[in-house]
């Protein structure tokens, strides 16, 4: 069974925490993980793109000149695509880009991402993340003690605390989420996952 060192806020080892092997020690499935990332990124797209075709542009209902006898090319509307101010051809329309992945695949992708973080020694577990003040300097000191101040860090806690939110919100390289919000996109986008003991237990309850 895999273990991870449980640290205090000074970066000192307190004890070993046994990880659930069904979550943090599986055979990684990179294909499912890749699919989950693609689907998650697709779901972030707004899909609000829109331009007008010739039927949606105002005006142009009258034929600009008669069909024959003028010597000019025949035209049916000044809102046809070849006219300046005319409609567009093959116009993009609003659409929903989000796609669904079944529950078993989503969980397998999450287990794969967590397993790879453990294998790459990019998961740091701490007893708690309670800050006495909401100062950004305190968060920087905490990350420095854990030797991850220069990394892109994903902080995972069981419940958000106001001091933690305020202390981390001005740091561009720090993201803060709760255990029930954990997802593959955030996991693969960060160098280090800093997670509390309570958050680890909460994740194990859901994914075990």
Please report the pLDDT score of residue 72 as a whole number. Answer: 96
Whether the model clears a pTM of 0.75, i.e. scores above it, the answer is yes
At 1 the pLDDT is 72
- 141-170: per-residue pLDDT in tens? 999 999 999 999 999 999 999 999 999 999
Sign of the torsion formed by the C-alpha atoms of 109, 27, 174 and 169: positive
Burial class of residue 175 (count of CB atoms within 10 Å of its CB; 0-12, 13-18, 19+): middle
Are 66 and 143 contained in the same domain? no
- Residues of the chain below pLDDT 50: none
Q: Do both 11 and 84 map to the same domain?
A: no
Question: Do residues 103 and 200 share a domain?
Answer: yes
Judge if 134 and 174 occupy the same domain.
yes
Beta strands 192-196 and 123-126, pairing class = parallel
CA distances from 15 to 19, 81, 156 (A): 13, 71, 19
Residue 132 belongs to a domain with what CATH number? Answer: 3.40.1370.10
Range of the domain at 56: 51-91
Answer with the one of 63, 91, 119 that is the final residue of a domain.
Answer: 91
Confidence at residue 2, expressed as pLDDT on a 0 to 100 scale = 85
- Residue-level pLDDT at 208: 78
What domain count does the chain have?
2
Same domain, 12 and 75: no
- CA dist., res. 40 & res. 100, Å (int): 9
| Residue 111 shares a structural domain with residue 59 | no
Cβ neighbours, 10 Å, residue 196: 21
Return the pLDDT at 202. Answer: 95
**CA-wise closest residue to 166 among 176, 157, 180:** 176
């Amino acid at each position: 069974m895999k273990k991870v060192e449980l640290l205090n806020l000074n970066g000192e080892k307190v004890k070993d925490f046994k990880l659930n092997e069904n979550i943090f020690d599986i055979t990684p499935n990179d294909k499912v993980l890749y699919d989950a990332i693609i689907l998650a990124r697709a779901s972030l797209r707004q899909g609000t793109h829109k331009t007008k075709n010739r039927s949606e542009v105002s005006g142009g209902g009258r034929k600009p000149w008669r069909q024959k006898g003028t010597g000019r090319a025949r035209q049916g509307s000044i809102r046809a695509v070849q006219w300046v101010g005319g409609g567009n051809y093959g116009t993009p329309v609003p659409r929903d880009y989000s796609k669904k992945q079944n529950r078993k695949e989503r969980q397998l992708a999450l287990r794969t991402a967590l397993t790879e973080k453990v294998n790459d020694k990019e998961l740091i577990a701490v007893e708690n993340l309670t800050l006495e003040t909401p100062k950004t300097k305190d968060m920087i000191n905490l990350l420095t003690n854990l030797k991850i101040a220069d990394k892109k860090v994903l902080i995972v806690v069981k419940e958000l605390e106001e001091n933690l939110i305020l202390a981390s919100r001005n740091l561009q390289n720090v993201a803060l989420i709760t255990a029930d919000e954990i997802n593959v996109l955030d996991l693969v986008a960060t160098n280090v996952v800093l997670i509390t003991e309570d958050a680890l237990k909460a994740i194990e309850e859901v994914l075990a």
